[in-house]
Structure 1
């Protein structure tokens, strides 16, 4: 590999760029390195070679270049791909501005004039665009596969922990008891929506800008439908100007990544809280925890914290690209070179975070007894006690006030609602009877939530069936 910090000794020593014919002087080495995208867009070498192969085959089919040249181009590109795979290809930012120029330069050096014919009817504008469409589609596929794995783990844990009761919270205060399965399924549906968002972004990327050339199309008889089909796109883009300047599909994908990362952050926030001594709801697996350099007793949920912390960079990636494209006039502008680093960073961060969360959830141990114990704290039966009075004919607002007074007195006395006798309850309202204690039973409270989407056992069983069907649909979509 070359030293990317090396500077040509003189301007005459510097290699001439592919566009040098018009110019009598080249940018300095410092400026060239400032303007180069090779350090990060070399990641797209597979997509660039795929696009070039499809373009060369189409040119030969249309009679623009000979079949002999097309065969030489394909063989030359295959050889370059092999070199890159084996780590033998030299990426040199002092010679090549981007991955497109690097591959074309070496191709022409290796096969001669045929390599110079590859760019016929093509601009780096549509070449860059097709590479970016291809890699956005590939990254979306990776994210979708990872999302399906996380969905599967959440569904598996929800099925395996069925019947476990835990506190539900609002404002981080104990609110009402729920099934742990119900809580886990809430995250399942978040990631199921993320799957659909990423799928929509993939669909937006699945059109082919190749053949739009610089901005106006070309006079060569290109068959854009042929190249689109060869590259697995749904079809060619409809407007050549939009083709080279559109980055909406990247915004769609990074937005989907941002929402997904926020969901992962919310999940990890709860895992951090739940693994604390104060909550004690979950024990993180040793392989997904770290210790302290000074405190031997510590077991830290570092990876959950990292996922939570990385959310800012993904949201920042979205903001970065939004600001980059908001002032770019039609069509291509150099600003758009700044589209790839946010894309790569957002996708890589989400993929790493999905991997970490899938492992954490698959291996953690939920503490059933501690969750059940906590479900008796915080007077979470109060709403059902008020509903009991409503069932006896008392208007809800009056019932709410009665139970509020009961809770206030219990707090002052340091007792639970379940510890109150029937006579003590009747001192607040004559409507209370012995059956009032059924309203205070935590398991009964959960079971009575039978409405569709509720936390009752039968409702959650129905929800598990829906989630299973949703996961099967997502997994089937991966194979399409």
Structure 2
């Protein structure tokens, strides 16, 4: 059997594979195999990796100095044209790698074709997405930072605003409203710390792994890693192209963040309800009803709450795609991009809207103050006072419960009890306990670190501001990788 010499003329459908195939790909295969349009957002990251790779080809002797300059100049021009919309992927471009090599080859001729030596789409794809996620982690963290700032600004205004603290959505104990706001700020802010920790583990470059075994041409991956802002190359070339745990971990952080945003959203929906009346939302951050003219709906909170399920689904979907995949690379891994892109895009919509809603909401101080003692929220003060006078807490609990029942029978709150009623319930309930039966006394008593006493909340806000400043340094500080 004789083999025909392969044609050296460019194919009308430029592909990075196919030399051993006798026929063109079926239309259904092309449709399934082509990257989704959103994947072409990776163009700047693929070009960044290609610049580092070109310098590695110079070190390997594949390129000379003139060819390197021609390639780098061509890639710079291509990136400018792509950003300006002067050049776009065609239907025949299978992915971002095919698109860029096609355009470079059309513009530079054979020099453009040299760029493929010593690398694979496997390490390119892993590198592109990792660079993108490291960039986006900082962008999302900046948006979280702004939301934290809005929560803390509100909290700073309400350090002395009394409010009912809830458990099981039932009145529990008095707090200051700033303490509740800061609980959300603390939980949401931890996701920036998670991104920082994730970034440390993800700062390993897959370039030089090629298809799976490493490259016989590009043998200084530590240099391209440093150029792209990584700490070092990946330790194992198979793991470099097969692993997507860094994507899953990124999706976990975005999912956890979405869950925290959902919990804040649920609180806002309740606070703004006619039943609670704790806050008034700014008109610019609400919508109305097409049939009920009086409605003012907290749509930002509701939409944000709904997005949490979407992001959780993206994480679970990628974990399911990874389950039981053999090493090294499989096309199943292409699912990583749609999951990552959707999660990033969703948060970039949700976070600014949530920030604006929180920043502009007005707190109904008097309504919170009125509700703070309702529902016997001062009962724990009675039990604690008894315990401090030497009554075993198990007995103190029973005595306080009896006092609550007596108040219920008379239709009064604990703040309205008389000395006579105290004596009637239990002789150990002396008039001295009355000094504890105000919301002000209840919050002032909780002076341990992390408690709701106003001075402790003020200190918490101060520490949170200091932490924000440290996070700001990571978000906007020295980062050698490409920010696109």
Q: TM-score, normalization: structure 1?
A: 0.94
The equivalent residue for 1:49 is 47
What are structure 2's unaligned runs of at least 5 residues? 1-10, 479-484
The equivalent residue for 1:340 is 337
Is 1:378 matched with 2:372? no
Q: Residue 16 and residue 115 in structure 1: after superposition, are their counterparts in 2 closer, same or farther (change >3 A)?
A: closer
Quick one: which of 287, 307, 312 aligns to 1:290? 287
SS of equivalent residue, structure 2 residue 204: coil
SS of equivalent residue, structure 1 residue 203: helix
Quick check: 1:122–1:213 contact (8 Å CA) kept in 2?
Answer: yes
The equivalent residue for 1:9 is none
The equivalent residue for 2:414 is 417
Q: How far 1:308 moved relative to its partner?
A: 0.2
**Superposition pairs for residues 453-472 of structure 1, below 5 Å?**
453-472=450-469
Q: How far 1:16 moved relative to its partner?
A: 5.2
The equivalent residue for 2:32 is 34
Task: Supply the distance in 2 between the matched residues of 1:386 and 1:127 (Cα, whole angstroms).
Answer: 65
Quick check: 1:198–1:257 contact (8 Å CA) kept in 2?
Answer: no
The equivalent residue for 1:88 is 86
Q: How far 1:221 moved relative to its partner?
A: 4.7
SS of equivalent residue, structure 1 residue 175: strand
- Superposed CA RMSD in Å reads 1.4
The equivalent residue for 2:242 is 245
Quick one: which of 58, 61, 67 aligns to 1:69? 67
SS of equivalent residue, structure 1 residue 167: strand
Q: How far 1:153 moved relative to its partner?
A: 1.8
Task: Supply the distance in 2 between the matched residues of 1:476 and 1:16 (Cα, whole angstroms).
Answer: 44
Is 1:21 matched with 2:19? yes
Is 1:236 matched with 2:258? no
The equivalent residue for 2:76 is 78
Quick check: 2:208–2:218 contact (8 Å CA) kept in 1?
Answer: no
Is 1:182 matched with 2:179? yes
Task: Supply the distance in 1 between the matched residues of 2:388 and 2:245 (Cα, whole angstroms).
Answer: 55
What are structure 1's unaligned runs of at least 5 residues? 1-12
Task: Supply the distance in 2 between the matched residues of 1:107 and 1:392 (Cα, whole angstroms).
Answer: 84
Q: How far 1:14 moved relative to its partner?
A: 6.8
Is 1:105 matched with 2:74? no
Number of positions where the alignment pairs a residue of Structure 1 with one of Structure 2: 467
The equivalent residue for 1:442 is 439
Deviations 1:409-428 (A, max 9, x none): 32233211122211111101
SS of equivalent residue, structure 2 residue 164: strand
The equivalent residue for 1:141 is 138
Segments of 4+ moved more than 3 angstroms: none
The equivalent residue for 2:165 is 168
Task: Supply the distance in 2 between the matched residues of 1:238 and 1:434 (Cα, whole angstroms).
Answer: 72
Q: How far 1:389 moved relative to its partner?
A: 2.1
Q: How far 1:376 moved relative to its partner?
A: 2.1
SS of equivalent residue, structure 1 residue 178: strand
Higher relative contact order (CA 8 A, sep 6+): 2
Quick one: which of 343, 347, 352 aligns to 2:349? 352
Is 1:128 matched with 2:125? yes
Task: Supply the distance in 2 between the matched residues of 1:133 and 1:390 (Cα, whole angstroms).
Answer: 57
